[in-house]
Structure 1
């Protein structure tokens, strides 16, 4: 069942899950460029929770560590690998 909610910033939205994240606020937070702009909001939040904001920081993690983060699914890995490759980097072995 969809429920109407209002976030602390005053945005009204509907959600079917218990997730408290406001989609309007998330859209505003989405980066305009860079590898983070290619990821879903949950994946971006998961990387941010580990203070991963650059490809260099990402390269210091293993693929398994990134997949273990809540919000990062298998679909994000090819995007992240490509972003690393474009910078001449890879996931830590």
Structure 2
């Protein structure tokens, strides 16, 4: 007889399909449920792990990172130096 923990089902249903770790989180919740059914986790441990998985589902908004002007200049300078070293190594003139 298969016993389904409705708390896990409810959490799994709330994982958006476009979440980058959706498959991993679903798998993790399945393992938590199986361990709990087999008695390898106490109720408190299973609840704590479910709560941690539920927190991982909620993504914080992060705007695209853009370097400051000074950082961008350093990046450009490193790229230019790397390009010059590569051209010198291959005997190319820029």
TM-score range, shorter chain: under 0.3
Structure holding more strand per residue: 1
TM-score, structure 2 normalization: 0.27
Query: Which structure: larger Rg?
Result: 2
